[in-house]
A and B are shown apart, each in its own frame.
Chain A
């Protein structure tokens, strides 16, 4: 059996650790029957100055040095689960694995007289269950990866998006879920700008794709969908539009199509501005944000209006399915896209916040981090509205302070204390509105 590229993962978020030692206690109890932390397979860093650095535990490496060095072939990585384990019959206690492991993941236990290490409790780690602050999490991203990895990539290689742009990730990922029975429309914006239009193996998409006007995306898709409905063929008709093409210029067509109950999937890839034409403000640009048309200087201090709450507007239009999504929570997005594909009685709308390294002023490698923080601070909560029923799909137990999101990028770097307070109030009001609808 071949090793997979990814497995379930015991993830450590050191910044959340409060050194309560619950993980050590439960591990020792489960593995040895005694609540003696020195028998635990997971260890927290104790009695150090300064902040906590989170627990230390075997990372179940993809190419484990302990496996390579083990002279008796006693250590193996399970190709099914990815867990690295020790065969007691073969282990000679030479301890060379502890020299090879750079992460302190394998120990000799004098009390037990053998080598010990984390085994993910057979796929349901106890330490994760008792970790109140969420410093330990058991991630199952690999499940989605394993299903999608074998699907054909319906987008050609060689796109010219800015470094760190979310859109390529989003479009390749979405097409793997949508499948070949799809017709795409990408109105003017970053997505056609990086080379999405073109139907061949060498350029653009490997499904039919066209480039409507900024103003008529939903109208054109309505016509295409109706034609296929008329000839009796099921096909997913999907728009990937920017916030300008959705909330501003394209809005009347979208509003009309929603009201008429056209059966299309409309995905707004919201980067809060007209980024490909020079970073101008749009209807969804957030309050306080710098753009080239909301400059910061003697008179200006970023956008002085609140952003359009477009997903709410879409619900009021009577769309049967509306959801928000984030590229940092792809499983969540995948579920929502699958639900949108099942909608038959109207328009399905997904509003995806897509942080833009070029226009928002942050380093290209931080895109997913910024996307995640937008959700973790409740700046952009993830929820869905499915035929009258509201629910949060990802709920933050303890939201991160909004400043940690704002501090990550240049477009908010000028904000005054007053502006931040105002933003916090807006974020909290929008969140309270959602909470009241969900109860």
Chain B
């Protein structure tokens, strides 16, 4: 094997998994992992837990320094890329230095989207993407008694839980008519909302924010047709924007993210991309989508590495999924959960008596294509594989609906174990 130089931009989960995969497969080549922050690589998913104190700063990094040294993965930290030049096969770094590569893997992640609300840009609300953000939020939250959160998506809901657990009274403002839109149906999102409300979290759904002000002590948020909310903390969790500005002028095809095919190849032959910054094929076909979730970042990071090594790989496509642990309850959502066309999809709802929950299965013919529920007690990994692998239920659908846990495991034994 000839020695090559692999450069990876971004040391989040996608970049880290790409580097580890490369090293497993190739013990000789040089691997350089470029991180924007000065700290060792970590996963941003862990940050809400850092705020609530479930994990200390000492324990939050994925690996100690010697792990990277032992694997000869060179870390270039505190130095994000400012631009790349595919022609010269070169990455320019903050501070003026540069690095050449044989193969480049882009995993730059994303930044928090700041919503277009009058006055918001100037007062810089708190958000949560980096460890520095988390530290700032934690420090300010310790001194505050209340907080307003913009957006009831996953990050917003997790931050709401963390802040509530710290003892703050939390107000969550959401544009849509329910919490966690897209992942949960109204019935499930109501169950989630109730669990939050019993922990001093108030929700304002279908709420359009008309303006924000900061008087040096408190933020004031005026809602359309509603009262004005006040709190000393304002946290924005209205989505993630791919961090792709530095690719301007590189010639790489970009839309709302870096466009990749199923093998994580970009429009330039020796450049690959993965994670929150990509726009990849959707599992159900159709347009390419940006779907910034951890499981995709891990899978795509590893696939980008394999692809960069010349192996033939194919990602199954972005499939919406999430697992959500809130105040001792468990929300689960995979695939198509709120189909609009009831003639094509077959929906089964099962109430789980005594378990404070319910589960909904969506079938497309003989194959499962969506699961959603609260406190289902099922194996999320098996349900995900049933959908991803499009396993035909072949006459066992009734049995599955009656005993989803054991029948799911039976499918696993028969199909992929």
Contact = CB atoms under 8 A, between A and B. Distances in A.
Contacts of B403: 47-48
The main secondary structure of chain B at its interface with chain A is helix
B45 interface: yes
A100 B382 CA distance: 9
A46 B298 CA distance: 34
B295 A96 contact: yes
Contacts of A48: 399, 403, 406-407, 410
Nearest to A69: B298
A45 interface: yes
Interface string B317-332: 0000101010010100
Interface string B216-254: 000000000000000000000000000000000000000
A72 B46 contact: yes
Interface in B359-417: 379-382, 384-385, 399, 403, 406-410, 412-414, 416-417
B410 A53 contact: yes
B413 A14 contact: yes
Interface in A104-146: 104, 107-108, 110
B319 to A, nearest CB: 11
A99 B296 CA distance: 12
Contact of A102 (B46, B385, B399, B410): B385
The main secondary structure of chain A at its interface with chain B is loop
A54 interface: yes
Contacts of B60: 72-73, 90
Given A99-B380, A102-B381, A73 B409 contact: no
Interface string A77-92: 0000000000001101
B59 A72 contact: yes
Given A68-B298, A72-B43, A102 B17 contact: no
Interface residues of A, number: 35
A65 B17 CA distance: 11
Given A71-B46, A72-B46, A104-B409, A99 B323 contact: yes
A96 B59 contact: no
Contacts, number: 110
Given A48-B406, A71-B294, A99-B384, A89 B59 contact: yes
B417 A98 contact: no
Interface in A13-52: 14, 43, 45-49
Interface in A131-183: none
A54, A68, A95, A99 pick with most chain B CB within 10 angstroms = A99
Contacts of B384: 99, 102
B325 A47 contact: no
Nearest to A106: B381
A92 B412 contact: no
A72 B55 contact: yes
A56 interface: yes
B302 interface: yes
A49, A65, A89, A102 pick with most chain B CB within 10 angstroms = A102
Nearest to B414: A53
A349 to B, nearest CB: 41
A63 B299 CA distance: 12
Interface in A169-200: none
A53 B409 contact: yes
B284 interface: no
Contact of A92 (B55, B334, B382): B55
Contact of B379 (A69, A90, A94, A98): A98
A164 B370 CA distance: 42
Given A68-B17, A69-B295, A108-B330, A99 B321 contact: yes
B214 interface: no
Nearest to A2: B70
B123 interface: no
A228 interface: no
B413 A95 contact: no
Given A72-B43, A73-B62, A92 B413 contact: no
A102 B384 CA distance: 8
B45 A102 contact: no
Given A72-B59, A73-B63, A100 B295 contact: yes
Interface of A: 14, 43, 45-49, 53-54, 56, 59, 63, 65, 68-69, 71-73, 89-90, 92-96, 98-104, 107-108, 110
Q: Top 7 nearest A-B pairs by Cβ distance? A: A71-B43, A71-B45, A92-B49, A53-B413, A73-B62, A101-B381, A104-B379
Interface of B: 13, 17, 20, 24, 43-46, 49, 54-55, 59-63, 294-295, 298, 302, 321, 323, 325, 328, 330, 334, 379-382, 384-385, 399, 403, 406-410, 412-414, 416-417
12 contacts: A54-B413, A56-B409, A68-B20, A71-B43, A72-B43, A72-B59, A72-B60, A72-B62, A90-B60, A96-B294, A99-B381, A102-B416
Given A47-B406, A73-B43, 4 more contacts: A68-B302, A69-B13, A71-B294, A94-B323
